[in-house]
């Protein structure tokens, strides 16, 4: 059966602070609602409608999707049932409608499948979870054959009902034909004069439609309505991401002290020390060792490489058996070939480091191409910018760069050549030659 997802995303999110819609608050590197979009897109032939209100265009422009999404404006926020009603004309008659919330973004595909399967038999399927301290939450009251009779709000619950630990998530699934039949029967006979989707349960029971619970884990339906709740959701989610790595034979030093903000794959046998941040799309190979306090962004690191502490890698590819850091920074699409090394306070930008080449101390390599087994001495810089344009420095195989050299691009240093320490090299150096470009030393008598 087809699935039509309805995501409610019209809230202002006043308690979040700022002026952006609540569903755009960042969770693990992307807007909360994007997590839901990524999940629902895994369902074949599913259609998605997003109900927007406050700054709807901002919500629409912030969502990334491979499939078409229907955006529906809820001009006046008159309750959850009113929000769902805005999308009813877009729903397919031969579908199951699933109502989700943009500020409760972590429900899994597996759980949604269970919910949909429950609804396909003509039931109203409600997603519920058990909460150790259910104070303030609507209790699930079951009747004969485990049918849900009603949801009782905490303030209205009697002593026996308050002992119930199963609570309502708000997420539900039902055949679209049933939804379209029951939705108009919801009234706004309450103090807020709003139309509540939870009233469907009582209406369904009156129409002899079974209301059944699908239990899930609490972390799947945790929402965020304030900065504190968003913080707690982030920390809970990050811990689960780290624990999932442990299950894949990745050693994590402390699951509460690493962040994955995007999508990061890490191979078996790798070790992740404390306070590491992985941002964007990353692929880490097998048996990689990443020391503390590193920041890795949109990069690939291949097998058996060691990244020492406080190293930043952004938009780069690092080969196998490399060594980086501590305090290195590589960026701008730089590429480290297998077995190369960049050490303490070395920066590489738009550069390629050949197999077995090394720059181990206090060096800047900008727009540089290093061949194989090049040795770059401490304090070396490639002077690649002339004030208007960037120029390349080509250092061929086996070249030795003396400490504190300044290589003024455009420049080529031939295979097996050398530069003397403290040299400023402005002209090409032929193969095997030693280039010395320094001022003549003069020793003067000290004035009395």
CATH 3.90.550.10 domain position(s) in the chain: 2-220
pLDDT in tens, the chain (448 residues): 899 999 999 987 767 767 789 999 999 999 999 999 999 999 998 999 999 998 999 999 999 998 999 999 998 889 999 999 999 999 999 999 999 999 999 999 999 999 999 999 999 999 999 999 988 888 999 988 889 998 988 888 899 999 999 999 999 999 999 999 999 999 998 888 999 999 999 999 999 999 999 999 999 998 888 899 999 999 999 999 999 999 999 999 999 999 999 999 999 999 999 999 999 999 999 999 999 999 999 999 999 999 999 999 999 999 999 999 999 999 999 999 999 999 999 999 999 999 999 999 999 999 999 999 999 999 999 999 999 999 999 999 999 999 999 999 999 999 999 999 999 999 999 999 999 999 888 898 987 6
CATH 2.160.10.10 domain position(s) in the chain: 248-333, 351-439
- Cα–Cα distance measured from residue 328 to residue 360, given in angstroms and rounded to the nearest whole number: 10
- Cα–Cα distance measured from residue 51 to residue 48, given in angstroms and rounded to the nearest whole number: 10
> Which pTM was predicted?
0.88
- Cα–Cα distance measured from residue 106 to residue 109, given in angstroms and rounded to the nearest whole number: 9
Tokens of 146: 């485990």
Q: What is the pLDDT of residue 295?
A: 98
Q: Give the domain 351-439 fold.
A: UDP N-Acetylglucosamine Acyltransferase; domain 1 (2.160.10)
**248-333 sits in which CATH class?**
mainly beta
Q: What is the pLDDT of residue 124?
A: 97
Q: What is the pLDDT of residue 210?
A: 95
Q: What is the pLDDT of residue 12?
A: 77
- Cα–Cα distance measured from residue 432 to residue 420, given in angstroms and rounded to the nearest whole number: 13
User: If one looks up domain 2-220 in CATH, what number appears?
Assistant: 3.90.550.10
- Cα–Cα distance measured from residue 314 to residue 237, given in angstroms and rounded to the nearest whole number: 24
Q: What is the pLDDT of residue 447?
A: 79
The residues carrying an active-site annotation are: 361
Q: What is the pLDDT of residue 169?
A: 93
Q: What is the pLDDT of residue 189?
A: 87
Radius of gyration (Cα) for the chain, nearest Å?
30
- Residue keyed to tokens 């349960």: 201
Q: What is the pLDDT of residue 1?
A: 83
Q: What is the pLDDT of residue 154?
A: 86
Bridge partners of 78, per DSSP, are none
């Amino acid at each position: 059966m087809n699935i039509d997802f309805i995501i409610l995303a019209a809230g202002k999110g006043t308690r979040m602070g700022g002026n952006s819609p609540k569903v755009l608050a960042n969770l693990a590197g992307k807007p909360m609602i994007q997590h839901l979009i990524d999940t629902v897109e895994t369902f074949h032939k599913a259609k998605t409608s997003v109900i927007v209100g406050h700054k709807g265009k901002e919500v629409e422009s912030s969502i990334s999707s491979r499939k078409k999404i229907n955006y529906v404006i809820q001009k006046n926020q008159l309750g959850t049932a009113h929000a769902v009603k805005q999308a009813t004309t877009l729903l397919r008659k031969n579908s199951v409608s699933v109502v989700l919330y943009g500020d409760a973004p972590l429900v899994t595909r597996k759980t949604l499948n269970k919910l949909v399967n429950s609804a396909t038999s003509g039931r109203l399927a409600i997603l519920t979870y058990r909460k150790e301290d259910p104070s303030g939450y609507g209790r699930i009251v079951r009747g004969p054959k485990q049918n849900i009779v009603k949801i009782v709000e905490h303030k209205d619950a009697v002593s026996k009902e308050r002992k119930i630990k199963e609570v309502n998530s708000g997420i539900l699934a039902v055949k679209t034909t049933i939804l379209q039949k029951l939705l108009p029967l919801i009234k706004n006979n309450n103090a807020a004069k709003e139309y509540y989707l939870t009233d469907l349960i009582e209406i369904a029971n009156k129409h002899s439609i079974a209301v059944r619970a699908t239990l899930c884990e609490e972390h799947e339906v945790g929402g965020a309505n304030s900065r504190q709740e968003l913080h707690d959701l982030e920390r809970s989610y990050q811990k689960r991401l780290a624990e999932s790595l442990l299950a894949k034979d990745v050693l994590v030093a402390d699951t509460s002290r690493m962040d994955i903000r995007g999508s990061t794959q890490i191979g078996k046998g790798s070790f992740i020390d404390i306070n590491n941040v992985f941002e964007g799309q990353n692929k880490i190979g097998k048996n990689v060792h990443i020391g503390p306090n590193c920041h890795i962004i949109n990069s690939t690191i291949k097998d058996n490489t060691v990244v020492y502490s406080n190293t930043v890698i952004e938009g780069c590819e690092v080969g196998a058996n490399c060594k980086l850091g501590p305090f290195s920074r590589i960026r701008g699409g730089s590429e480290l070939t297998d077995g190369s090394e960049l050490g303490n306070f070395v920066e590489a930008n738009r550069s390629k480091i050949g197999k077995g080449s090394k720059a181990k101390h206090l060096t800047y390599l900008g727009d540089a191409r290093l061949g194989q087994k090049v040795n770059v001495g401490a304090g070396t810089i490639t002077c690649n910018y002339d004030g208007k344009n960037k120029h390349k420095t080509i250092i061929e195989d086996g070249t030795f760069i003396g400490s504190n050299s300044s290589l003024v691009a455009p420049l080529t240093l031939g295979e097996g050549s050398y530069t003397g320490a403290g040299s400023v090299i402005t002209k090409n150096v032929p193969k095997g030659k030693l280039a010395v470009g320094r001022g003549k030393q003069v020793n003067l008598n000290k004035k009395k």
